[in-house]
Amino acid sequence: MKSMKVTLVLGTRPQIIKSAPLICLANNDPEIELSIVHTGQHYDYEMTKIFFEEFNLPEPTVNLNVGSGTHAQQTAKIMIRLEKILLKQKPDLVIVPGDTNSTLAGALTAAKLHIPVAHIEAGARSYDMRMPEEVNRRLTDHCSTLLFTPTENCTKNLLKEGIEEKKIYQTGDTMYDVLLRELPKAEKTTILEKLGLEPKTYVLLTAHRPENVDNLENLKNIIEAAIKLKPIIVVFPIHPRTQKQLRKMKLYKKIEKEKHIIMIKPQGYHETIKLIKNAKLILTDSGGMQKEAFWLKIPCLTLRETTEWPETMILGANSLVGTNVQKIIEKFNDIMNKEKEIVENLKDLPNLFGKGEASQKIIEIIKSIKSYLKN
């Protein structure tokens, strides 16, 4: 008889990725009865179902089907629908990974029902409250019972905010667990052949942050920079938000004319990791890809002014370039001119994100304090 009921709330692409090993471990654990509640924040095949298939995950127990909307609509809809589910399920613990609207809505709903909340990836801070994710992270951390931090810096951020030390467990990063586990499968994909690419001949570009893609000036700049990288090939998997904005701002046709820019639909996890590992450089505004580039030792230029992952900036591995075209091109040329030295530096990067055992540790901690959580 399973003695602990755990509900995992997720709804977006990065949350599925960072939960994958945890789901597998929990599902095979004799003590844990796991229920997965998918909020429906992401709903396209390429944004959600593909990852359940790639990682062989069980279908979510429930899908709240909230879909897209404003922040308030999305968060509120999740809360209203999730509350009913949690009242029925009566879990001993609700786990929320990451920093999306699904994360915050899950944490708030559970906390208000006095159900203990565990936050995976706690303590990350960009100190930029204009980012929706920063609001989500902070509020989630402050209503969580257990905070699983990926790095020492994240632990320190929480302590600075007055969060009790006994609630914090520095486990390492579950995204690193996934990478180590899935790398052999990623290596086997044929995405490079499919796109006619040779290793280390292209830049991988992604952009989806609202502050970049919902702003005409910033989106134009990112595209301008990609055009200026000619003759270097730019591989550009396009997030649905970005796709919509490129069409709305009439930039889609402009890119289509550029032979060196390869636009593709959002890729699965394995294909993406293969594309990162074989790129010359990563140009991104994604939080997760900054870390994946760091772990795979590929130089990264981040299309933002701040990052919640300052750990990745050591030894020139990652630099913040914002969306200024000149700055992006200058920094790119700088890295290319010093390519040998930088690649040498990247070889020595310390691992600040744990040893790939974070998910295992999280499961052990949850089980060890089972009786405390039940009271």
What positions carry a catalytic annotation?
A: 208
For β-strands 202-206 and 62-63, DSSP reports them as unpaired
Report the residue from 7, 100, 155, 267 that binds ligand UD1 according to the rule CB under 6 A: 100
Contact between 44 and ligand UD1 per CB under 6 A: yes
Report the residue from 7, 8, 12, 38 that binds ligand UD1 according to the rule CB under 6 A: 12
Contact between 49 and ligand UD1 per CB under 6 A: no
Stretch that binds ligand UD1, among 20-28, 37-45, 226-234, 344-352 (CB under 6 A): 37-45
Site for ligand UD1 in 191-220 (CB under 6 A): 208
DSSP state of 150: S
Rounded Cα gap, residues 50 and 304, in angstroms:
28
Rounded Cα gap, residues 165 and 156, in angstroms:
10
Contacts of 336 (CB under 8 A, 6+ apart): 280, 281
What minimum distance in Å lies between the beta carbon of 101 and ligand UD1?
Answer: 4
What minimum distance in Å lies between the beta carbon of 42 and ligand UD1?
Answer: 4
CA distances from 54 to 17, 47, 98 (A): 10, 12, 20
Contact between 101 and ligand UD1 per CB under 6 A: yes
Q: Which is nearer to ligand UD1, 77 or 277 (CB)?
A: 77
Contact between 292 and ligand UD1 per CB under 6 A: no
What minimum distance in Å lies between the beta carbon of 4 and ligand UD1?
Answer: 28
What minimum distance in Å lies between the beta carbon of 137 and ligand UD1?
Answer: 10
- The identity of residue 237, as a single letter, is P
For β-strands 4-10 and 93-97, DSSP reports them as parallel
Q: Which of 131, 57, 59 is nearest to 99 (CA)?
A: 131
Contact between 241 and ligand UD1 per CB under 6 A: yes
Stretch that binds ligand UD1, among 93-101, 144-152, 223-231, 289-297 (CB under 6 A): 93-101
Report the residue from 25, 29, 43, 310 that binds ligand UD1 according to the rule CB under 6 A: 43
Stretch that binds ligand UD1, among 26-34, 234-242, 248-256, 350-358 (CB under 6 A): 234-242
Handedness of CA 256, 260, 261, 266 (dihedral sign): positive
Q: Which is nearer to ligand UD1, 280 or 291 (CB)?
A: 291
Q: Which is nearer to ligand UD1, 91 or 98 (CB)?
A: 98
What minimum distance in Å lies between the beta carbon of 69 and ligand UD1?
Answer: 7
Q: Are 14 and 41 in contact (CB under 8 A)?
A: no
Reading the block at residue 98, the tokens are 């990451």
Phi first, then psi, for residue 120 (nearest 5°) are -95, 130
Report the residue from 133, 134, 292, 308 that binds ligand UD1 according to the rule CB under 6 A: 133
Contact between 244 and ligand UD1 per CB under 6 A: yes
Q: Which is nearer to ligand UD1, 33 or 211 (CB)?
A: 211
Q: What is the side-by-side order of every strand in the sheet holding 202-206?
A: 261-264, 233-237, 202-206, 281-284, 300-302, 318-320
Contact between 14 and ligand UD1 per CB under 6 A: yes
Rounded Cα gap, residues 108 and 303, in angstroms:
31
Q: Which is nearer to ligand UD1, 143 or 227 (CB)?
A: 143
Phi first, then psi, for residue 311 (nearest 5°) are -55, -30
Q: Which of 182, 175, 344, 190 is nearest to 275 (CA)?
A: 190
**Residues in touch with ligand UD1 (CB under 6 A):** 12-14, 41-44, 47, 68, 99-101, 132-133, 208, 239-241, 244
